[in-house]
Amino acid sequence: MRMAELVFHTGPMDSGKSTLALQMDHAQSAHDRQGVRYAMHDRSGGARITSRIGLSVEAVEVADALDLYQDVVSRLSRGGRIDYLICDEAQFYRSEQIDQLARVVDDLDIDVYCFGILADFRTELFPGSKRLVELADRVVEPPVAPLCWCGRPATHNARIVDGQMVREGDQVGVGDVGGGTEIHYEVLCRRHHRQGITGETSRATLSEQTLPFDGSES
């Protein structure tokens, strides 16, 4: 007999996690399986799961105080059927909430699919992700890895504030990849994350090196 499982889909920002979350929800519900979607601090600012390819659906916002096990039990006791949970931005969940999800799998036999980044801009694990790695039946990487500006697979998330890559600050800072806002993120390979060389820095350095003259010549 198939047992329910706790699965953690993890990869850097922009690796297709929310897209996969929505695809899995769609695939499951197409076969009359009933699910509940949870999200926390979605970039849209609402209680939603939002993918950069344009899909977005409503979700239940996970407040810090929410007991996920009790929430599922109370939905079931109101007569609902639940076969699976989709939990996006799971890095932000408290580690106790991940324990509650493991209990949903074990005691209620409900599949739980979590999606989130592993580490923050300082390369430190988020508490929710750490607990997921400790408890999940499976940890899965999305099939399409984003690339660093150098062409290597991007594995690390850099936070850019006013154009500068930073290594200090609050762990939580909701934002998107790409420029245009005061705080944004860029995915880099480990080497360039360690060296602090972003795409913008590399272009500036390259153009300085390739200037045909230093301006003193006429």
Ligand X SMILES: Nc1ncnc2c1ncn2[C@@H]1O[C@H](COP(=O)(O)OP(=O)(O)O)[C@@H](O)[C@H]1O
Q: Residues within the annotated binding site?
A: 11-18, 88-91
Provide the minimum distance between the beta carbon of 206 and ligand LXEULUCI in the complex, in angstroms, as a whole number. 26
Size (the chain), residues: 218
The nearer residue to ligand LXEULUCI, 88 or 110, going by C-beta atoms, is 88
87 in contact with ligand LXEULUCI (CB under 6 A): no
- State whether residue 148 is helix, strand or coil: coil
CA angle 17, 179, 184 (to 5 degrees): 60
What residues are paired with 164 via a beta bridge? 161
Provide the minimum distance between the beta carbon of 74 and ligand LXEULUCI in the complex, in angstroms, as a whole number. 28
CA angle 176, 25, 93 (to 5 degrees): 50
Residues 15, 153 contacting (CB under 8 angstroms): no
**Residue nearest ligand LXEULUCI (C-beta atom):** 120
Q: 37: part of which helix (H) or strand (E)?
A: strand 35-39
The nearer residue to ligand X, 16 or 128, going by C-beta atoms, is 16
Interface positions with ligand X (CB under 6 A): 11, 13-19, 51-53, 144
Q: Give catalytic residues, as residue numbers.
A: 89
The nearer residue to ligand X, 53 or 65, going by C-beta atoms, is 53
129 in contact with ligand LXEULUCI (CB under 6 A): no
C-alpha–C-alpha distance, residues 165 and 184, integer Å = 10
Q: Which of 127, 142, 153, 175 binds ligand LXEULUCI (CB under 6 A)?
A: 175
Type of residue found at 120: D
142 in contact with ligand LXEULUCI (CB under 6 A): no
Count of residues binding ligand LXEULUCI (CB under 6 A)? 16
Instruction: Produce one character per residue of 201-217: b if its CB has 16 or more CB atoms within 10 Å, e if not.
Output: beeeeeeeeeeeeeeee
Provide the minimum distance between the beta carbon of 142 and ligand LXEULUCI in the complex, in angstroms, as a whole number. 10
Provide the minimum distance between the beta carbon of 190 and ligand X in the complex, in angstroms, as a whole number. 18
State the burial class of residue 194 (Cβ atoms within 10 Å of its Cβ: 0-12, 13-18, 19+).
Answer: exposed
C-alpha–C-alpha distance, residues 216 and 203, integer Å = 23
The nearer residue to ligand X, 41 or 52, going by C-beta atoms, is 52
Interface ranges with ligand LXEULUCI (CB under 6 A): 13-14, 17-18, 43, 117, 120-121, 157, 159, 171-175, 185
